């Protein structure tokens, strides 16, 4: 479970959250998944963007704009507001191929997303499945036009460091036949955050997923690899700006649905 953002203020009704993987198997190296969202009232609201080790395109289909949020180590309040729309999670390879830039250039930023044709098609469509199919087609087309790629060892390290109980940066680097220094330099450019921080963010995200599921703090700390419950509490506060209890309350305002049926784009 990847928690990208949460409304800053409590909502009078649960938010709607829908997720789906890309259809084409070849897209898995570039797209983490698609999401559909609607605020509790449907109105555009301010969001707290949580730490993630990926980039996310957020498109409000009701005319409130579109942005790309880059990887980040700490939560931030987005200046833009959104209420109903779709998201596309991109890997470092996906950012390079689809957006034509290294993901490192997006680190700790939120920038405008300018694809008017895509935004208009999504706004004119109804149903999450239909919109996700449109995104599938758009990503596939962008990959066909791509002129740049990244070193596969960077992608491999980025994936390995996010696995539960990762062996650590030095072990990952040794396994890929590279030096730690080389890996750190590659991450600075192609990922935007250090290798060790990628693992830290992944641990925070696993903890957030457990908090959403009513797991006790002590159990979440053990299962996520924190030294103890106070360690988890300190990390949650440092990375999200919330206490674990506050983060749990925000997460409980999200209501998830099953993956919708797809329709052709």
Give residue-wise pLDDT tens across range 142-153.
999 998 889 999
**Stretch 57-82: mean pLDDT:** 95
pLDDT greater than 50 at residue 257: no
| CA-based nearest residue to 171, from 189, 156, 185, 193 | 156
Which helix (DSSP H) or strand (DSSP E) does residue 89 occupy? strand 84-90
pLDDT greater than 80 at residue 265: no
- Indicate the domain borders of the chain: 5-149+253-257, 152-251
- What confidence tier does 252 reach under pLDDT thresholds 50, 70, 90? confident
Name which residue leads in pLDDT, 120 or 10: 120
Give residue-wise pLDDT tens across range 96-154.
999 999 999 999 999 999 998 999 999 999 999 999 999 999 999 999 999 888 999 99
Other C-beta atoms lying within 10 Å of the C-beta of residue 126:
9
pLDDT greater than 90 at residue 178: yes
- What confidence tier does 42 reach under pLDDT thresholds 50, 70, 90? confident
CATH topology classification for 152-251: Arc Repressor Mutant, subunit A (1.10.10)
User: pTM of the entire structure?
Assistant: 0.92
Residue 115: strand, helix, or coil: coil
CA 148 to chain centre: 22
CB–CB of 80/67 below 8 Å? yes
Name which residue leads in pLDDT, 1 or 217: 217
Average pLDDT, the chain: 91
């Amino acid at each position: 479970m990847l928690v990208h953002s949460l409304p800053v203020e409590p909502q009078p009704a649960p938010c709607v959250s829908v997720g789906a993987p890309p259809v084409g198997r070849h897209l898995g190296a570039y797209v983490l998944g698609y999401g559909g969202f609607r605020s509790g009232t449907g109105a555009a609201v301010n969001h707290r963007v949580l730490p993630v080790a990926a980039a996310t395109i957020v498109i409000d289909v009701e005319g409130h704009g579109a942005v790309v949020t880059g990887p980040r180590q700490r939560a931030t309040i987005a200046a833009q507001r959104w209420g109903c729309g779709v998201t596309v999670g991109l890997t470092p390879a996906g950012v390079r191929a689809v957006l034509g830039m290294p993901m490192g250039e997006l680190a700790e930023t939120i920038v405008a997303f300018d694809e008017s044709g895509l935004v208009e098609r999504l706004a004119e469509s109804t149903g999450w499945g239909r919109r996700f199919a449109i995104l599938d087609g758009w990503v596939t087309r962008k990959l066909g036009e791509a002129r740049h790629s990244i070193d596969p060892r960077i992608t491999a390290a980025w994936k390995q460091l996010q696995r539960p109980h990762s062996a650590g940066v030095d072990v990952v680097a040794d396994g890929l036949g590279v030096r730690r220094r080389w890996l750190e330099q590659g991450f600075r450019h192609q990922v935007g955050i250090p290798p060790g921080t990628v693992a830290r963010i992944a641990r925070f995200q696993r903890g957030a997923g457990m908090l959403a599921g009513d797991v006790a703090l002590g159990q979440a700390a053990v299962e996520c690899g924190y030294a103890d419950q106070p360690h988890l509490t300190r990390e949650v506060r440092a990375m999200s700006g919330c206490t674990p209890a506050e983060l749990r309350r925000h997460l409980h305002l999200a209501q998830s649905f099953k993956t919708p049926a797809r329709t052709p784009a």
